[in-house]
């Protein structure tokens, strides 16, 4: 009996080890290894169509940051339960690949049916979750789909292409369901090439420039601040939009290197300005809360000789969201050494007022979308009026971005906004030292366009 008991315990231990090796401890779903094996078996055993759906939760990180990992674990358990309920048909397998990423394997489904399953998943996972402490939390979900054999017969290839579809769906605005297409793969390859070129440009300091756009006192017309804006000239593609390369820098670990280039260049340049205007530098969310931002800025100020009160740090509401505690600590330390703090794109987030309550900003910049539609949308005019009044009450400088017409300037002056920025008042321009190089680049671009136009005209005549 003793031997039988020992053998029984050993068998149970082996079963437990096998279970832990193939199933996720938190949700009980097949883990990445087990799901991958199931995908391989499905592709080998059947010639029928197989659908792979990758599911990523939208907003889960903020739950962990604001409610703690324990609540996050409870939430993941509920997500797993909902996925089991939706994907309970024959030949369907649900797995957790890690973090907040899940996967679903379905057999013998055409593309419309796979997309319909993805849509049901998005709808089900977007219903609010009731946590144990009585709180309710709402998440979203995004789904990327790849199908065998049309998108590949190898497991790793199918996973890669489903991940490409997931990335494209998140870029399209989250809460989306997208099926892989060859165009997605081309975009990913182009993005990887652009990342490699950006990395090289930052290392060699080749083609990277800082332009400066003035911010003007509405009453006096005096330039109070110049915003430093990074620009990149690619040797083959010409000028690359910051909207294209800054997200790549943030996602691929290059943002601190890019920000350091802007900060160093802007501080050196501003120290030479005879009018004593401040310089504004944008800070990414990835730089906040690590404890390294303040020493870095202080070292740059010392080397450049720029007074701290002439540096203005701009950050968006999204930089604050989800990690307010660490961010606010960094901002307070910057304030202590004399650096001014501005909240950019005010009004575009859903927690603008709560951020003003957490920290007293020196400046609030009203997003240009409000002034653009101020004549046609009463709600835009109401937002500008409200923020201008709020700034007066809190003694915070209000800046309106995107001012392009005299009528817009007259309106914001009437409402009491103190500063303005936009093409009416000055376009971004390089510093004097960079102006000749910029002009040479523009000249080369004009020449290449002329050559291209002549070739096109010649082909038409032929």
The two three-digit tokens of residue 1, written as one number: 């009996």
| Among 128-132, 158-162, 265-269, 446-450, the least confident range | 446-450
**pLDDT at 366 exceeding the cut of 60:** yes
% residues pLDDT > 90 (the chain): 56
CA-based R_g, the chain, Å: 27
Q: What is the pLDDT of residue 201?
A: 95
**pLDDT at 369 exceeding the cut of 90:** no
Question: Both ends of the chain: CA-CA distance in Å?
Answer: 98
Q: Given CATH 1.10.3480.10, say whether it is the number of domain 2-184.
A: no
Q: Which CATH superfamily is domain 195-431 in?
A: EAL domain (3.20.20.450)
The better pLDDT of the pair 316, 269 is held by: 269
Q: What is the pLDDT of residue 302?
A: 96
The better pLDDT of the pair 338, 6 is held by: 338
Whose CA is closest to 56, among 174, 146, 159, 172? 174
Neighbouring-strand partners of residue 398: 364
The better pLDDT of the pair 368, 272 is held by: 272
Note every long-range contact of 249-256, with CB atoms under 8 Å and residues 24 or more positions apart, other chains counting.
249/198, 250/284, 250/285, 250/286, 252/195, 252/199, 254/195, 254/198, 254/199, 254/202, 255/284, 255/286, 255/287, 256/284, 256/286, 256/287
Q: What are the pLDDT digits (tens) for 19-76?
A: 556 799 999 999 999 999 999 988 886 566 899 999 999 988 777 766 777 888 889 9
Q: What are the pLDDT digits (tens) for 387-441?
A: 889 888 889 999 999 999 999 999 899 888 999 999 999 999 999 999 999 998 8
Q: What is the pLDDT of residue 350?
A: 47
| Burial of 260 per CB tally in 10 Å (0-12, 13-18, 19+) | middle
**pLDDT at 159 exceeding the cut of 90:** yes
Domains 2-184 and 195-431 share a fold: no
**pLDDT at 190 exceeding the cut of 60:** yes
Instruction: Report CA-CA distances (Å) from 111 to 52, 114, 116, 412.
Output: 11, 5, 9, 52
The full set of domain ranges for the chain reads 2-184, 195-431
Q: Name, in order, each residue with C-beta under 8 angstroms of 345's C-beta and a sequence gap of 6 or more.
A: 316, 317, 365, 367
Backbone angles phi, psi at 308, to 5 degrees: -55, -35
**pLDDT at 86 exceeding the cut of 70:** yes
**pLDDT at 382 exceeding the cut of 90:** no
């Amino acid at each position: 009996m003793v031997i039988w008991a020992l053998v029984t315990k050993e068998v149970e231990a082996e079963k437990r080890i096998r279970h832990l090796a193939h199933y996720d401890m938190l949700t009980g779903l097949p883990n990445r290894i087990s799901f991958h094996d199931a995908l391989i078996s499905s592709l080998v055993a059947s010639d029928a169509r197989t659908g792979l759906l990758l599911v990523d939760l939208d907003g889960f990180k903020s739950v962990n940051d604001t409610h703690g990992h324990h609540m996050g674990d409870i939430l993941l358990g509920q997500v797993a339960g909902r996925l089991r309920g939706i994907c309970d048909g024959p030949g369907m397998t649900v797995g957790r690949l890690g973090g907040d990423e899940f996967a679903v394997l379905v057999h013998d489904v055409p593309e419309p049916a796979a997309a319909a399953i993805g849509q049901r998943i998005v709808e089900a996972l977007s219903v609010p979750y009731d946590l144990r402490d009585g709180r309710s939390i709402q998440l979203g979900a995004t789904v990327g789909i790849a199908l065998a054999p049309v998108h590949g017969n190898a497991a790793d290839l199918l996973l890669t292409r489903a991940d490409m579809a997931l990335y494209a769906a998140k870029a399209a605005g989250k809460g989306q369901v997208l099926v892989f297409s060859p165009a997605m793969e081309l975009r990913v390859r182009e993005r990887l090439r652009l990342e490699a070129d950006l990395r090289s440009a930052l290392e060699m300091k080749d083609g990277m420039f800082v332009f400066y756009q003035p911010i003007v006192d509405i009453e006096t017309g005096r330039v109070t601040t110049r915003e430093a804006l990074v620009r990149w000239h690619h040797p083959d593609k010409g000028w690359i939009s910051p909207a294209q390369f800054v997200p790549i820098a943030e996602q691929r670990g290059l943002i601190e290197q890019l920000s350091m280039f802007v900060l160093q260049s802007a501080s050196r340049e501003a120290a030479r300005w005879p009018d004593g205007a401040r310089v504004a530098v944008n800070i990414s969310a990835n730089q906040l809360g690590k404890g390294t931002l303040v020493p870095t800025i202080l070292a740059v100020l010392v080397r450049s000789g720029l007074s701290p009160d002439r540096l203005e740090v701009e950050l968006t509401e999204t930089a604050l969201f989800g990690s307010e505690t660490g961010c606010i600590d960094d901002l307070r330390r910057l304030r202590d050494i004399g650096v001014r703090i501005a909240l950019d794109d005010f009004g575009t987030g859903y927690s603008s007022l709560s951020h003003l309550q957490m920290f007293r900003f020196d400046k609030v910049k009203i997003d240009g979308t409000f002034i653009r539609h101020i004549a046609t949308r009463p709600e835009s005019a109401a937002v500008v009026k409200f923020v201008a009044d709020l700034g007066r009450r809190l003694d915070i400088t209000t800046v309106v971005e995107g001012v392009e017409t005299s009528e817009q300037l007259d309106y914001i002056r009437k409402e009491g906004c103190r500063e303005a920025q936009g093409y009416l008042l000055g376009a971004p321009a390089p510093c004097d030292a960079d102006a000749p190089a910029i002009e040479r680049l523009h000249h080369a671009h004009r020449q290449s366009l002329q050559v291209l136009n002549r070739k096109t005209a010649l082909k038409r005549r032929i």
